Structure 1
Amino acid sequence: MKRSAALRVLVSGASVAGPVVAYWLSRHGFAVTVVEHAPALRRTGGHAVDLFRPAVDISQKMGVLPQIEERAVTTSRMTVHREGSRRPVRADLSKIFGAASDRHVEIMRDDLSEIYYDAARDDVEYLFGDSITSLSPDGDVRFAHAGPRHFDLVIGADGLHSNVRRLAFDGESRHRSFTGAYFGVLTLPNLFALDGELLLHVGIGRTAGMYGARHLGDARALFLFRGERQLAYRRRDVPRQKGLLREAFAGMHSQVDRWLDELDQAPGFYFASITQLRMDTWSKGRVTLVGDAGYCPGAAVGGSTSLAVVGAYVLAGELARADGDHELAFPAYEHAMAGYVRGSREVALSAARTLIPTSQLGVRGLVQGARLISALPAGPSRALVRLTTKSARLHNSVVLNDYWASTSPVTTPPRPRG
């Protein structure tokens, strides 16, 4: 039996990267425990995330692509209102998404998390409602509620505000780089009976959108805006965050005003700065980080979900290839992901400049660009998007290693789940 089969791995976080890395580690013969601070899988509303070609390929390898496609949010049409203009522009989003990536699926983050969790829940130990309070260099771990345990490796998959990063790395706040932008997500009634359509309002320094799908039963409003300076608010001060959102979008349009009127009754709300995480290394001793915990490119603009899925797959694969030797696997994982991480940061900054224009010229460019691409036949529109967007070039350039073929797993290969 391989030495990796006896290695015990603790993963912190059960959103996206955590369940994916747990799935692949368990398939490669590791004994995996996932600890999650929330008492159950999070169902807080969330927002739609994009899975681009490499993440779709990994999901297919996991046997869960049919479930993902079944719950996909297919946003195919867009109506764009330019602030100050009475005439909206209509665009065909299916052409834009189809041109941007060979394979692309849009899905609610909570649905994706549940699908990945279901894929390996029978083979992985989950500790909900608990968190890590201390880590020792030799792998001794203390929890807020469970008794102390020893693990051979610890993986932080717990997001931008990672508890593992805080415990294992010194001065973690200095790794954050603010992009100058903020975003908010609001769950609200589907006021316009939207099904596969995005309503978008674009102005200088601010963009607001609303989308819905029949199977959701409600809708989401997404707000992106720039701040001249970094805003002062506490992470859990929701009233302050809602006030900042109202202030940023005051007087934009009557439709946007109606969305903001739902703030105090909304069952789901999220607000954060669009922040990048820039670390020289994501590993320290027996601890490593994956996804937003180690290399967040910028929420809502950087393809962070696809990046997290790929990172989880690569990390598990490199650990299996190295027979569990983290001194070999962690550097190999970082080397394999370095280019994708750098590219995602660049894409995020470029996307933020496009989606939140800083001038009237930028506003007109966003609106007219969407109209032009959607008006062209599929072939020319695909060529135009791939020539002019960093995102398309980045995701389509990712090549995945077949770690399963290059290792000798002690479990049976993954099978599609019903």
Structure 2
Amino acid sequence: MTQTKVLISGAGVAGAALAHFLHHDGFDVTVVERAPGLRDSGYAVDFRGDAFDVLAEMGILDEIRGHDTKMRGTALLDTEGAAVGQLPAEAFAGELEVPKPELTRILHRVTEPNIPYIFDDSITALTQHPDRISVEFERGAPRDVDLVIGADGLFSKVRRLAFGPHEACLRHLGMSGVGFTADNILSLAHSGALRTGDDHTAVYAFSAADTARMSVSLSFATDAPTLDRRPRSEQEQAVRTAFTGHKWVVPQLLDAMSAADDFYFSSSAQIHLDSWSRGRVALVGDAGYCAAPTAGMGTSQALIGARSLARHLTASDGDHTAAFAAYEAELRPYIEANQQTGREGAAAFGARTE
């Protein structure tokens, strides 16, 4: 029997997990990733609920637990930096939190021996036929496959090609922010600090595995996610404008931002689609149903969605249309609940809501 050929765009959590499950069930899987190599940046990620079952099924739960950040909680600060309250560790760290680079490394290590990864390339065109889908690439030779899965994040290239422009499905939540690491000037130790302002700004910092360094997030209200596509200089200027006049350690953090080599800018946004599939193309993770970082569910959604999609494709006996429909019917209530949490979280962080 001929193996079903599946091309996955995106080597992140959703893409690697889906590749693992599909390969295990006998599919011929290839992963293409536009980055030149494995991504080794990003904040810590947390796991909640059924995500633990997915990690256990993949055989990596114990190893993941070995990288627990052991966060003890987050201090709530006033504008002068004085403590006024405390949030429990679960508020940000979920039931288990690990550095994202460690999770990415583990997922790649367990899949790479059996699954081809094509780095530094991306899909440029998709042409659907009754019995296959033809794929063109920025660098590689064209190929025909049976299915294409977009696991390529909020600004998914696969989604844009198969479903339409980002603007048609991207819902901005009124907040943008920058992330980077800096010297641990707050002396945090497996703990965090959160300072919000009446001007719709928030400073969040935490230190976990390396207590000499801390991860910093500077968030502020915005009307649209256009800054995500702008040069770093413009993004930095937007942050500095939002935090003009702020005291405490904010001026030091702004200087650290400009010096950071792991600078990352993003807007808090969600993806809303009437359907997560078009013909032989389907979406998984943030590409299909991002709930926004303020939901705290991105990694869990990626893992649970990947397992669900793989299970339904395996059970469908080659009927991808039925598999995609069953996958969506199973997952959509869970996603909608998480997206509501994401909207509430954005408002709590000072987003400018309608």
Q: Distance in 2 between matches of 1:278 and 1:232?
A: 18
Structure 1 match to 2:215:
220
TM-score, with normalisation over the residues of structure 2? 0.92
1:220 and 1:304, CA in 2 relative to 1: closer, same or farther beyond 3 A? same
- Return the offset for 1:87: 3.8
Matches within 5 A, 1:303-318: 303-318=297-312
Equivalent in 318, 321, 327 of residue 324 of structure 1:
318
Aligned-pair CA distance for 1:225: 2.0
Q: Give the corresponding residue for 2:110.
A: 119
Structure holding more strand per residue: 2
Deviates most, 140-149 or 306-315: 140-149
Q: Cα distance 1:215–1:234, how it changes in 2: closer, same or farther (>3 A)?
A: closer
Question: Residue deviations 1:159-195, cap 9 Å, x none?
Answer: 0111111111134421111111112211222234432
Aligned residue runs from structure 1 range 279-318, under 5 A: 279-318=273-312
Among candidates 332, 337, 340, match of residue 346 of structure 1: 340
Q: Which residue in 2 is equivalent to 1:13? A: 10
CA distance in 2, matches of 1:215, 1:188: 11
Is the alpha carbon distance of 1:339 and 1:234 closer, same or farther for their aligned partners in structure 2, counting shifts above 3 Å? closer
- 2:31 pairs with 1:40: no
Q: Deviations for 1:383-410, whole angstroms, at most 9, x for unmatched residues? A: xxxxxxxxxxxxxxxxxxxxxxxxxxxx
Q: Which runs of 5+ in 2 are unaligned?
A: none
Alignment of 1:171-250 (within 5 A): 171-204=165-198, 205-215=200-210, 218-227=213-222, 229-230=223-224, 233=227, 235-250=229-244
Q: Which amino acid aligns with 2:113?
A: D
TM-superposed CA distance for 1:278, in Å, is: 0.6
**1:153 equivalenced with 2:144 (yes/no):** no
Q: Shift in Å at residue 82 of structure 1?
A: 1.5
Deviation at 1:136, TM superposition (A): 1.2
Q: Which residue of 2 aligns with 1:76?
A: 72
Q: Using a 3 Å threshold, how does the CA distance of structure 1 residues 233 and 92 change in structure 2: closer, same or farther? A: closer
Of 67-76 and 149-158, more deviation after overlay is shown by 67-76
Cα deviations by residue, 1:295-347 (Å, 9 ceiling, x for unpaired):
11113435122111111110011101112320110000111111011111101
User: 1:386-397 maps to which residues of 2 (within 5 A)?
Assistant: none
Q: Kindly tell me: are residues 141 and 24 of structure 1, through their superposed partners in 2, closer, same or farther at Cα, counting changes over 3 Å? A: same
Structure having greater relative contact order (Cα 8 Å, sep ≥ 6): 1
Q: Which runs of 5+ in 1 are unaligned?
A: 360-418
Say whether residues 1:135 and 2:122 are aligned partners. Answer: no
Q: Shift of the alpha carbon at 1:59?
A: 0.7
Name the one with the larger helix percent: 1
RMSD after superposition: 2.2
Aligned with residue 273 of structure 1, among 245, 255, 267: 267
TM-score where L is the length of structure 1: 0.78
Q: Any idea what SS the aligned residue of 2:37 has?
A: coil
SS of the equivalent of 1:254 reads coil
Determine whether 1:257 maps to 2:254.
no
Alpha-carbon deviation of 1:234? 5.5
Shift of the 88–240 alpha-carbon distance from structure 1 to 2, 3 Å rule, reads same
- Partner Cα separation in structure 1 for residue 17 and residue 283 of structure 2: 13
Residues 171 and 94 of structure 1, relative CA distance in 2, 3 Å threshold: closer
In structure 2, what is the Cα distance between the partners aligned to 1:137 and 1:47? 37
Which contiguous aligned blocks of 4+ residues in structure 1 show a shift greater than 6 angstroms? Answer: none
Match of 1:368 in 2: none
Q: 2:19 aligns with which of 2, 19, 22?
A: 22
Contact 2:76 2:84 in 1 (8 A): yes
Letter in 2 for 1:118: R
Q: Deviations over 1:251-298 (max 9, x none)?
A: 333222211111221011111211111110110111000011111111
Q: Hey, what does 1:62 align to over in structure 2?
A: 58
State the alpha-carbon separation in 2 of the partners of residues 346 and 22 from structure 1.
29
Does structure 2 retain, via aligned residues, the 8 Å contact 1:203–1:357? no
Contact 2:228 2:265 (8 Å CA) reproduced: no
Question: Is the 1:22–1:120 Cα contact (8 Å) retained in structure 2?
Answer: yes
C-alpha separation in 2, matches of 1:258 and 1:47: 20
1:2-24, Cα deviation, whole Å (9 max, x unpaired): x5x61110000001100000000
CA distance in structure 2 between the partners assigned to 1:83 and 1:192 by the alignment: 15
Which AA in structure 2 matches 1:77?
A: G
Give secondary structure in 2 for the equivalent of 1:262: helix
Contact 1:75 1:93 in 2 (8 A): no
Preserved CA contact (<8 Å) 1:194 1:214: no
> Match for 1:21: what amino acid?
L
> In 2, distance between residues paired with 1:240 and 1:343?
35
CA radius of gyration, larger in: 1
The count of aligned residue pairs is 349
